[in-house]
Structures are given as structure tokens and as C-alpha cells.
Amino acid sequence: MELRNAPSENKQAATRQMLLGSFVGLDGVTRSKTVPSSRESTFVKSGMGASPTWSVFCPDSQIAFTPSISVVGDYRLHADPSMKRPLDDAIMWAPTIMTSQDGQISPFCPRSLLASLERKAYELGYATMFGCEFEFYLLDDEHKNSPDSTPIKAMQWDAYGTESFLQKEDFFAELQRRCAQAQIPLEQMHCEYDKCQMEISTAPSPATQAADLAVLTKLIIKSTARQFGMTASFSPKPFVDLSGNGGHIHFSMTRKSDATPIFSTGDGIYGLTPEGEHAIAGIHEHACELTAIYAGSPASQLRLSPDSWSGATACWGLENREASIRFCAATKGNPLGANVELKCADLAANPYYAIACILGSALDGITRELPLAKETSVNPMLLSAAEREECHAHALPTTYDEVTDAFQSSHFAVELLGQEVVNAELAIRELMSKTYSGAKPEDIARAMRFVW
């Protein structure tokens, strides 16, 4: 017998629906506020409260208080309904903009910073596109709780193997379904080199949208993993003796006037136009000083090393996987056209700040007409001192404190990100340095294993 007062299926679904608004801090951690769907308009117009300390949270949830950032005050997080997408059956997701109580954009709002740079590029006559790669370890309870990688190494696994992929086909099928539902354009999916390591790639999108989708993609991967009783780790180095995860970012740019790409159609090497050469030169010039943004977590330097395909040397080269800047030419094997891949970035980075730094560096190179260094066509470790000078090949900072020093001395970082953001990043780094200065790499890897 049917109960007259039983709620309909649609009504049940409606009562379960929530809107989660995400915000990514300088530590690369995605935090959020969530409201019932009935309060969406309030989330959009008035926003939800967030302490100023959200700007100086650390990846281990410590707070790097500064003279100007304390428990006093309040920011508002405003959901952007234009990007609202389903995260799962119960939750809708949207990115947020951080403002003051009176509606002024906060200097700590990374999404607003990236949007302003995207507008600047447009005003200068360029449209930009970014695509992201997501490497992650998919771990069951036994493996995720292991103090080291011994149980993982005992697994049967073929690097990039078909059988390894087929063992996870249900996971990938569900991930593909949910990404399609969320309008995330997937490019490819495969098992990676390391045991338990997977990778997916997303198609290029305009700058701010690409960062938005990067946040949502990670959330969907984690949610799908939980559905299968697994846990996904995006940490740059969840286990010290495994390869670790990169978060490579692909970048292309076209002239707004005639839609011609600047990384092809020119007379330079590999078809580069003068603007394309200048853009790569800008990214190259600022790579070392912006490592704190691209790969700045306590676990990042455990991954960023020579001969690991992590792009540990600031240089550029055609299809060079040891260079921090890998150039992908416009060939038949590259249907989306020529692009630049930043290989040194990882998934502990805030995607808004990382993409902003790539775009800002490229625009700086174009504006200043920086000359392109000679290509690094071999493993940078094989270069002589004279060849390294000719290619302007420099090792990225190798320790956490060296990364901090390079960032602290960067005038460009202040110009691009603002003094408030630079100060906040330095405060976070100072606290992390004090906390982990005497820690063993194994302890850092374990502590950061599931932060991102």
C-alpha cells in the first residue's frame, strides 16, 4: 500500500541537494562552505563567512598568523553560479570569489587575480587556453595506511599496462561518467609508471575556467575513489621511494585579431612567432623565483630532482621531459596544436596562482620582448658549463628554504601577486620551515600523503 505522505523521488532528491563553494588557499588545499540548495541565492549575493586566517592556513592546518592577519575580521565567499556543476548525486559545486564585508575583492582571492590577468591578456590582444594533467595514487586501506611503500612494491603492475588499467576499468568508467556530467572534457586516462599510480588529462579551457575545472576534477577523483573504497593521493611525494605526482600544465595562446596561434605559424624555430618566443622566454626567466607557487609544498622538493622527468631544470626544449618547459610543436601527432607544458608544477599548487604565474610570466616576456634562450635538446644534466650558460639552464631551487629565498627576493612575484599575497606565502613558508626543518623525508611524505 502506498503511503500518502511519502515524499516523491524528486522531492527526496531536492532535500538532499547542497551547494558546496570551494576556495583554494596558498597552501593548495581546497576548503569550502556548504549550504542547502534553498540558500543558493544568499551564497551568491551575500556570501558565506571566512576568517582572514584562510589566507595563511598551512597544509598541516597550522595557521601562520601575521601582524595583519589574525582571528579578527571576516571575508565573504561568494559562489559563482555560472560555473555550478554536479560534484556527486547530493552536492552541486561552484567556485567562489573572496571579498570584504562591503563587497571589495580581497587581495587574497586567487580566482579574481587570474581573471584580471586573463582580461589583461585579452586587452593586449591575446586569448589563452590551459589544460591540466592529474597524476594520483589510488590506494586501498592496506596501502594507504602503510608506513612505507613495501606493500605497493609487492603488487603486480605493468607501467602503462593494459591489464593494470583493466583492473581499474570500473573506477575509470565511473570517473568518466561523472566528469561528463560535470562538463569536464577529458582527453585521456591511463595507468602511470608507478604501481597504483593513475593519470587523467583535461582538454584546454580559458584560463580561469581551466583552474576552476582543475579544482573540481580533483574533488571528483577523490569522491569516485571513495565510492570504490579507495583513497586518492595527489601529494607530490606520498612515498619517498616512489616517483611521486606531477601536475603538468599546458598553455597555448592565440592572437585575438586573426585567431592565429603564437606557438606556431611563425618563422622561428619549430614555427614559433616572435611573441611565442618572448612568451617562452618569460616563463623561463621567472621559473626559479616562482617555484614557491609551482612546487612549493614541504613534499615538493622530495619529487623535484634531476633524472626523474619532473622538470627540475629551468630551461626549454622540444619534447624534453627533463626540462621545466617542454615545448610541444604543431605536428600531426598534436591535434590541439602547439603548446607549452610546465613540467615542474605539482598538484599541491593552487591552480589559480600557478596558471596566473604562467600567464603573467608569458605576458611579461612579450611586453619586454625577452629573447629566447638556446634550446636544451638533451638531458640538462649532460650539458657542459658553457652549454648550460648558452641555454640559460639553471637548476630549480633544491631545498625548501632555497625556494623561499628565491621567492622572497623576487620583485616580479610582488608585481604579479601583490605584496599581501607574497607576505602571506612567506609567513606560511617560515612556519613550515620551523615545523619540518629536522624532519626526515619519510616523515614529511607520510604527514602530507593525503593533504591534497
pLDDT at 162: 95
Grid-cell match 610543436, residue found? 329
Side chain identity at 322, as an amino acid letter? E
Is the confidence at residue 80, as pLDDT, over 80? Answer: yes
DSSP H/E element including 18: strand 18-24
Strand partners of residue 138: 232
Q: Chain-wide mean pLDDT for the chain?
A: 94
Smallest CA-to-CA distance from 340 within 316, 356, 313 is with 316
**Which residues lie below 8 Å from residue 87, measured CB to CB, with a gap of 6+?**
20, 93, 182, 216, 219, 220, 223
Residue 336 banded pLDDT, cuts 50, 70, 90: confident
Smallest CA-to-CA distance from 58 within 446, 438, 433 is with 433
302-323 confidence digits (pLDDT tens): 999 999 999 999 999 999 999 9
User: Quick one: average pLDDT of 445-450?
Assistant: 96
CA distances (Å), 449 to each of 40, 147, 221, 234, 277, in order? 34, 11, 16, 8, 38
Smallest CA-to-CA distance from 215 within 32, 19, 447 is with 32
pLDDT at 14: 52
Radius of gyration of the chain (CA): 22
8 Å CB contact between 408 and 291: no
User: Quick one: average pLDDT of 337-346?
Assistant: 96
Is the confidence at residue 13, as pLDDT, over 80? Answer: no
Q: How far is CA 349 from the centre of its chain?
A: 5
399-433 confidence digits (pLDDT tens): 999 999 999 999 999 999 999 999 999 999 999 99
pLDDT at 34: 98
Is the confidence at residue 11, as pLDDT, over 60? Answer: no
**Which residues lie below 8 Å from residue 117, measured CB to CB, with a gap of 6+?**
207, 356, 359, 360, 363
pLDDT at 333: 82
For 427-449, the DSSP string reads HHHHHHHHHHTT--HHHHHHHTT
Is the confidence at residue 8, as pLDDT, over 90? Answer: no
Spatial distance between the Cα atoms of 314 and 310, rounded to a whole number of angstroms? 11
Spatial distance between the Cα atoms of 114 and 262, rounded to a whole number of angstroms? 21
pLDDT at 146: 83
Spatial distance between the Cα atoms of 218 and 132, rounded to a whole number of angstroms? 11
User: Quick one: average pLDDT of 329-345?
Assistant: 92
8 Å CB contact between 123 and 363: no
pLDDT at 12: 44
Which range has the worst mean pLDDT, 71-75, 105-109, 421-425? 71-75
Spatial distance between the Cα atoms of 236 and 234, rounded to a whole number of angstroms? 6
Show the domains of the chain with their CATH numbers.
16-104 (3.10.20.70), 117-447 (3.30.590.10)
Higher pLDDT, 210 or 17: 210
Residue 148 banded pLDDT, cuts 50, 70, 90: confident
Is the confidence at residue 131, as pLDDT, over 90? Answer: yes
8 Å CB contact between 20 and 409: no
**Which residues lie below 8 Å from residue 243, measured CB to CB, with a gap of 6+?**
192, 193, 194, 197, 303, 308, 309
Is the confidence at residue 7, as pLDDT, over 50? Answer: no
Smallest CA-to-CA distance from 220 within 168, 170, 190, 177 is with 177
33-70 confidence digits (pLDDT tens): 999 999 999 999 999 999 999 999 999 999 999 999 99
Is the confidence at residue 449, as pLDDT, over 70? Answer: yes
Q: How far is CA 149 from the centre of its chain?
A: 25
b/e for 433-446, b at 16 or more Cβ within 10 A? Answer: eeebeeeeeeebbb
269-302 confidence digits (pLDDT tens): 999 999 999 999 999 999 999 999 999 999 999 9
Coil/strand/helix, residue 362: helix
**Which residues lie below 8 Å from residue 221, measured CB to CB, with a gap of 6+?**
134, 136, 175, 200, 232
384-396 confidence digits (pLDDT tens): 999 999 999 999 9
260-271 confidence digits (pLDDT tens): 999 999 999 999
Spatial distance between the Cα atoms of 57 and 129, rounded to a whole number of angstroms? 30
Which range has the worst mean pLDDT, 120-129, 152-161, 388-397? 152-161
User: Quick one: average pLDDT of 214-228?
Assistant: 98
Is the confidence at residue 9, as pLDDT, over 80? Answer: no
Smallest CA-to-CA distance from 251 within 221, 282, 274, 220 is with 282
User: Quick one: average pLDDT of 230-258?
Assistant: 96
pLDDT at 4: 39
